[in-house]
Amino acid sequence: MDCRVVVEAAVPVYDVETPDEAVRIAISKTGEMLNPDLNYVEIAMGTRTSPDGEQLTPAFVAADEALVALELEMTVFNVEREEHASRIARKEIGQRLHDIPLKVLRVEPLEEEEDARGDGTGDDGGERGDERSPRGADATDEDLLPEFEEMVEEERTRDRDGR
């Protein structure tokens, strides 16, 4: 099962005057922390409401400092349950956003048709569950051996040439 996970982050921003400026800086700061490892995470402004249900700006500014609510959205592939997807997303994002509180807002299972690339595999090349292989979940030892052999041959050539 593949799931779309939305995580809320409370991003602190310093030396700002307006909520709009705080949001722009928070999105930029978060993007820098996530890239290049998690460049597939979508960053958007979060939503806040007052106790009366009134919509508020996603940033609270006081004394030229702000706390900005952002929503980080990512797809997690090949998970057993929604709870599993939630843990993976929170861990992956949390490892890169040090000292930023995170809360999982929602987990939405994806329909099989949404996952398909058109070739019938359902593999769109994204992050796959707990598997970290850059070649994807379908890579086998046979796929890796030719590259390894090429590297060994290049090293032997360098040693012979005295480089």
Tell me which of 3.40.50, 3.30.70, 1.20.120, 3.30.420 is the CATH number of domain 3-129: 3.30.70
The pLDDT, as a whole number, for residue 47 is 87
59-83 confidence digits (pLDDT tens): 999 999 999 999 999 999 999 899 9
Low-confidence ranges of the chain (pLDDT < 70): 112-155, 157-163
The pLDDT, as a whole number, for residue 111 is 81
Domain boundaries, given as residue ranges, for the chain: 3-129, 133-163
Rounded to 5 degrees, φ, ψ at 132 are -115, 10
The pLDDT, as a whole number, for residue 152 is 65
The pLDDT, as a whole number, for residue 123 is 45
* pTM of full prediction above 0.75: no
